[in-house]
């Protein structure tokens, strides 16, 4: 049996990977495999699973058997145990909408059945879209020139714009009902567990109960939960409800100016461009998720969230999803 925890990013994955998954009974926890089966193509291709998911689902026909072969030859591999891969990078980069993700899961499921690793089970931790966007912006803010409250608000405008970045970035991936439906079509409802990050933050005991049930842990559950709740790392990324600190960046930025036509400058033994430096001092140290921004984001996803809430065993409405 193969379990995949594929994120989402910014949903407590580090805690799950460091504290919870390694001590699950009868589970061979692989973590993020790094088998170098595919060459790194861009900044998002950090791990084996992220490289697979960032490509066409056809990649599983060409290299899927190699990935599972490597998994089954791990030193810790035990056929009597459940196998667990956890890699939130799978859903991080690339134009990876719910339909493509569902197709990836379908191809993996076919391979796991072929190699006696079925059924395939998928765990996804979701997060309220407004706080997810704020957290994602704060984490990547070191990249942005003039990272600030106004820039954050314009960044949201672009992400939610149907004619700009909505279908080419993370926004379309945050349609949780569509994502659930596409995965369900391929592996069935009983093989999916979708839990809210807010439950992990506010109702840890309930979150652990759901995890243990999904992994089929039936005995000594209370003792197991007590040990996990002693962890000093369970309150990872403690922040205020509505503000996020921005990442530090150099106060000086560079921009390359390319001269055209380049061949002319080369024929004169002159450089084809120059690097100009400028002061990037118009940065804020934090952003706020205002009521106006939050309402706008939640309105975009309210129908999706209400629909998925009717299908899950948890109550998303009490966590403010709609």
User: Consecutive 10-residue runs of the chain (322 residues): their mean pLDDT?
Assistant: 94 93 92 90 86 94 95 89 94 84 97 95 97 95 90 97 93 96 96 96 92 90 80 48 82 71 81 72 88 97 96 92 96
At 234 the pLDDT is: 46
Q: Kindly state the greatest CA–CA separation across the chain.
A: 78
Backbone φ and ψ of 27, nearest 5° = -125, 130
CB 3 within 8 A of CB 17: no
Q: What share of the chain is helix, strand, coil (3-state, %, to 5)?
A: 50, 15, 35
Report if pTM > 0.75. Answer: yes
CA distance 290 to 174: 20
H or E segment to which residue 122 belongs: strand 120-126
Confidence (pLDDT) at 235: 42
Round to the nearest angstrom and report the end-to-end CA distance of the chain. 35
Q: Are 265 and 271 in contact (CB under 8 A)?
A: yes
Question: Which pLDDT score is estimated for 239?
Answer: 44
Q: What size, in residues, is the chain?
A: 322
Radius of gyration of the CA atoms of the chain, in A: 22
Spatial distance between the Cα atoms of 20 and 225, rounded to a whole number of angstroms: 10
pLDDT of amino acid 256:
77
Residue 125 CB neighbours (<10 A): 25
Instruction: Yes or no: say if 138 and 269 are a contact pair by the CB < 8 Å rule.
Output: no
90-142 pLDDT tens trace: 988 777 899 999 999 999 999 999 999 999 999 999 999 999 999 999 999 98
pLDDT at 252 (0 to 100): 56
Whether the Cβ atoms of residue 165 and residue 158 lie closer than 8 Å to each other: yes
Q: What per-residue confidence (pLDDT) applies to 238? A: 40
Distances from the Cα of 205 to the Cα of 2, 228, 270, 316, 320, angstroms: 25, 9, 67, 17, 20
How big is the CA angle at 229 (ends 227 and 230), to the nearest 5 degrees? Answer: 65
Q: 241-272: per-residue pLDDT in tens?
A: 799 999 776 655 566 788 888 788 788 888 88
């Amino acid at each position: 049996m193969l379990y995949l925890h594929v994120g989402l990013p910014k949903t407590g994955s580090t805690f799950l990977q460091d504290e919870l998954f390694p001590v699950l009974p009868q589970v061979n926890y692989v973590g993020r495999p790094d088998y170098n089966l595919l060459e790194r193509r861009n900044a998002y291709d950090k791990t084996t699973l992220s490289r697979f998911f960032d490509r066409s689902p056809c990649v599983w026909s060409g290299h899927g058997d190699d990935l599972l072969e490597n998994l089954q030859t791990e030193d810790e591999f035990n056929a009597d145990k459940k196998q667990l891969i956890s890699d939130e990078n799978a859903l991080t980069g690339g134009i990876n909408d719910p339909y493509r993700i569902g197709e990836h899961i379908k191809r993996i499921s076919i391979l796991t059945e072929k190699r006696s690793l079925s059924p395939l089970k998928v765990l996804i931790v979701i997060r309220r879209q407004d706080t997810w966007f704020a957290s994602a912006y704060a984490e990547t803010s070191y990249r942005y020139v003039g990272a600030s409250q106004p820039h954050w608000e314009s960044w949201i405008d672009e992400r939610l714009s149907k004619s700009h970045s909505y279908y080419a970035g993370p926004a379309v991936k945050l349609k949780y009902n569509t994502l659930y439906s596409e995965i369900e079509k391929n592996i069935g409802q009983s093989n999916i567990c979708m839990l809210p990050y807010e439950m992990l933050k506010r109702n840890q005991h309930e979150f652990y109960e759901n995890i243990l049930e999904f992994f089929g842990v039936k005995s000594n559950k209370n003792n197991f939960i007590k040990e996990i709740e002693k962890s000093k790392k369970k309150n990872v990324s403690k922040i205020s409800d509505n503000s996020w600190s921005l990442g530090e960046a150099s106060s000086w930025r560079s921009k390359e100016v390319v001269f055209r036509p380049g061949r002319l400058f080369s024929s004169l033994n002159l450089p084809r461009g120059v690097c100009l430096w400028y002061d990037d001092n118009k940065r804020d140290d934090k952003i706020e998720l205002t009521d106006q921004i939050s309402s706008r984001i939640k309105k975009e996803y309210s129908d999706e969230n209400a629909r998925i809430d009717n299908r899950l065993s948890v109550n998303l409405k009490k966590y403010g999803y709609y």
